[in-house]
């Protein structure tokens, strides 16, 4: 096939599936899910291609999409692929400075925006003198600025292509499209320094889609997939393209905070997510067990013990569980596990790929024990997502699965994971020096992650760039300590401090609700959260919990002092990236006084 697969994918699926439902999105006014058939999807994509040509969009021209998850994001993506244009997604939470930088770096003339927040940011940036010619607004409830004379709404944009007056040119460009075209440029959120635009060609997606089909033949067009992570994130984006290529039905979750509600409305069979989602499930269950007493508590604990033994000691190792154990497991499956899954909204769930950060082993064991098929994986923006992943119940707790068929992995110096293969980026947009530095002389990509391979499974040990060296010359891997502690139900977020310091300390965001409940139980009086978190009883509570969790670490890796902070880390203050990773250099600056205090003699 000479033309690129993504440029004709929706039309081909429409020929095959016609009036079947391709997408669903939630109408917040009526609180119902609105279906979109494959036929409608293909119609809108073709109209979008024509409308983009009406605006004069050229071959391999960059278009920006600044929105939370909406069907329109996919219409613009596939409409652009139909005319060989490139889409550049921005995180819905991007700041003015980030938007200004990306618009300039990628020379974007047309920007699609989602809701009021994105429109306001885009309009302010437009007046700062960019190449931006026009903003196109998805949500018709957005109120335009009085001074705005050029923006149009998405339905007005579609009218520009309704007559299909450019269809001959669309067909010509599809015929000329190929794997060598760039599909997307994804700007990494950058925990350090300026963000870089990762170029992903059509060949990257085609290689990844083919490899996933080989690895997961058991997934097909019967799946109902919840889109919960932002489409801007390579994981959700590549996964969605793959799901569309398999004819799955996508349920598009607009607001990440609504997931607890929307997942119960859809009850999906599959969803990709980050470990944080499962950490919250885990701490919710721990919470429940702690509140329960007597026989009910005994049963819950026994269910976890039986599940762990059945699934982790036997099933995941490819062994047949003993008959009595299997019988007990089946009993709990009908009672406790099924109730838990129903409560979350995933009783139909078959497949839950999870990546993007280290999965705390306690969380992974728990999720597998109750029979939820959470599939751990590892990947980067630069590798079009998946480098390695597990398969159905082929799990080794702590590993990120087996290498995918389209990727080669080599362990380089400092145990760095090096990659080569069809899914790997050709480089960073307009950044030759950064591109050159990212590859070895013989073409292997530097991931910056350290790890090892054992029995065909890949294990990650630490992020090389993130290793801290204490002033005593000892190396500390902060993520390992953070992953161990963040499973505690009293800890919401944690950041380890150790670089060039005598010992390890930590900034901790507590679960405020639980701290207040504890204070009430102990009769602690306080006027504010600041005051409560300085109370010795609260500090002792955290000290005891931290000491229990960090026993397995060497003495020099253990947290000696910590500060409980009264406000969560925030994106507004620049402390978190768009994917909610901690920016350590910003925390060091913002909390300099608190950090220095921990190191006073």
Same CATH topology for 5-270 and 467-598? no
Is the pLDDT at 1 greater than 60? The verdict is: no
Task: Please state, in angstroms and rounded to a whole number, the distance separating the CA atoms of residues 485 and 547.
Answer: 10
- Is the pLDDT higher at 511 or at 357? 511
101 φψ region: left (φ > 0), alpha (ψ -120 to 50), beta (else): alpha
The 3-state secondary structure of 482-521, one letter per residue = HHHHCCCCCEEEEEEECCCCCCEEEEEEECHHHHHHHHHH
Provide mean pLDDT across the span 197-224. 95
Q: Give residue-wise pLDDT tens across range 421-476.
A: 999 999 999 999 999 999 999 999 999 999 999 999 999 988 777 778 787 777 78
Task: Please state, in angstroms and rounded to a whole number, the distance separating the CA atoms of residues 411 and 490.
Answer: 37
Is the pLDDT at 191 greater than 70? The verdict is: no
CB-count exposure of residue 512 (10 Å: 0-12, 13-18, 19+) = middle
pLDDT, residue 358, reads 80
Task: Please state, in angstroms and rounded to a whole number, the distance separating the CA atoms of residues 371 and 281.
Answer: 14
The 3-state secondary structure of 257-324, one letter per residue = HHHHHHHHHHCCCEECECHHHHHHHHHHHHHHHHHCCHHHHHHHHHHHHHHHHHHHHHHHHCCCCCHH
CB-count exposure of residue 163 (10 Å: 0-12, 13-18, 19+) = exposed
Question: Can you tell me which residue has the tokens 């599809």?
Answer: 174
Domain chopping of the chain, boundaries: 5-270, 467-598
Provide mean pLDDT across the span 94-99. 87
Provide mean pLDDT across the span 161-166. 96
For domain 467-598, the CATH superfamily is: ANL, C-terminal domain (3.30.300.30)
Question: Can you tell me which residue has the tokens 């102990």?
Answer: 522
Q: Which residues contact 144 (CB under 8 A, 6 or more apart)?
A: 119, 123, 137, 151
CATH number at 5-270 = 3.40.50.980
Task: Please state, in angstroms and rounded to a whole number, the distance separating the CA atoms of residues 354 and 373.
Answer: 10
The 3-state secondary structure of 110-148, one letter per residue = EEEECCHHHHHHHHHHHCCCCCCCEEEECCCCCCCCCCC
Q: Give residue-wise pLDDT tens across range 43-87.
A: 999 999 999 999 999 999 999 999 999 999 999 999 999 999 999
Is the pLDDT at 192 greater than 60? The verdict is: no
Q: Give residue-wise pLDDT tens across range 314-352.
A: 998 889 999 999 999 999 999 999 999 999 999 999 999
pLDDT, residue 190, reads 58
Provide mean pLDDT across the span 488-501. 90
pLDDT, residue 200, reads 98
**What residues pair up with 353 in beta bridges, in sequence order?**
375
Q: Using DSSP, how many helices (H) and how many strands (E) does the chain show? A: 22, 25
pLDDT, residue 474, reads 79
Provide mean pLDDT across the span 549-566. 90
Task: Please state, in angstroms and rounded to a whole number, the distance separating the CA atoms of residues 209 and 374.
Answer: 20
Provide mean pLDDT across the span 121-132. 90
């Amino acid at each position: 096939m000479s033309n690129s697969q993504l440029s004709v994918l929706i039309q081909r699926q429409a020929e095959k599936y016609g009036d079947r439902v391709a997408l669903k999105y939630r109408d917040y006014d009526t609180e119902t899910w609105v279906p979109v058939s494959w036929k409608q999807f293909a119609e809108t994509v073709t109209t979008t291609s024509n409308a983009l040509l009406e605006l004069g969009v050229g071959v391999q021209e960059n278009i920006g999409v600044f929105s939370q998850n909406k069907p329109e994001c996919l219409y613009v993506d596939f409409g652009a692929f139909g005319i060989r244009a490139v889409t550049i997604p921005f995180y819905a939470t991007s700041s003015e400075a980030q938007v200004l930088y990306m618009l300039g770096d990628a020379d974007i003339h047309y920007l699609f925006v989602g809701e009021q927040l994105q429109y306001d940011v885009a309009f302010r940036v437009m007046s700062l003198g960019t190449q931006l010619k026009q903003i196109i607004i998805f949500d018709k409830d957005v109120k335009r600025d009085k001074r705005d004379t050029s923006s149009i709404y998405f339905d007005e944009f579609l009218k520009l292509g309704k007559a299909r007056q450019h269809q001959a040119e669309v067909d010509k460009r599809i015929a000329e499209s190929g794997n060598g075209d760039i599909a997307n440029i994804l700007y990494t959120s950058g925990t350090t320094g300026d963000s870089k635009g990762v170029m992903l060609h059509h060949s990257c997606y085609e290689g990844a889609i083919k490899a996933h089909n080989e690895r997961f033949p058991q997934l097909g067009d019967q799946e109902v997939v919840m889109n919960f992570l932002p489409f801007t994130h390579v994981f959700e984006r590549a996964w969605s393209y793959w799901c569309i290529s398999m004819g799955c039905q996508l349920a598009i979750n607009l607001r990440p905070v609504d997931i607890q509600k929307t997942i119960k409305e859809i009850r999906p069979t599959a969803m990709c997510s980050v470990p944080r989602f499962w950490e919250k499930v885990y701490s919710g269950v721990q919470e429940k067990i702690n509140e329960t007493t007597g026989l009910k508590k005994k049963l819950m604990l026994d269910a976890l013990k039986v599940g762990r033994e059945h699934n982790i000691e036997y099933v995941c190792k490819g062994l047949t569980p003993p008959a009595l154990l299997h019988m007990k497991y089946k009993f709990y499956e009908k009672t406790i596990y099924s109730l838990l899954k129903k409560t979350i909204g995933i009783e139909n769930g078959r497949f839950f790929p999870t990546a993007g950060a280290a999965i705390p082993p306690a969380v992974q064991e728990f999720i597998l024990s109750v029979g939820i098929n959470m599939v751990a994986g590892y990947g980067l923006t630069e590798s079009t997502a998946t480098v390695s992943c597990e398969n159905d119940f082929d799990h080794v707790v702590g590993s990120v699965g087996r290498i995918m068929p389209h990727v080669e992995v080599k362990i380089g110096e400092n145990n760095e994971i090096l990659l080569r293969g069809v899914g790997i980026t050709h480089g960073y947009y307009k950044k030759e020096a950064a591109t050159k530095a990212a590859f070895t002389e013989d073409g292997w990509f530097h991931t910056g992650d350290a790890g090892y391979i054992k029995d065909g499974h890949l294990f990650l040990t630490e992020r090389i760039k993130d290793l801290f060296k204490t002033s005593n010359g000892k190396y500390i891997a902060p993520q390992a300590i953070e992953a161990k502690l963040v499973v505690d139900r009293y800890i919401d977020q944690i950041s380890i401090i150790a670089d060039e310091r005598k010992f390890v300390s930590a900034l901790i965001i507590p679960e405020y609700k639980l701290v207040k409940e504890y204070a009430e139980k102990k009769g602690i009086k306080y006027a504010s959260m600041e005051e409560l978190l300085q109370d010795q009883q609260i500090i002792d509570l955290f000290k005891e919990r931290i000491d229990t969790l960090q026993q397995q670490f060497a003495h020099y890796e253990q947290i000696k002092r910590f500060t409980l902070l009264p406000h969560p880390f925030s994106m507004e203050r620049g402390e978190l990236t768009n994917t909610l990773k901690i920016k350590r250099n910003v925390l060091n600056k913002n909390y300099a006084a608190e950090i220095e205090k921990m190191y006073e003699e």
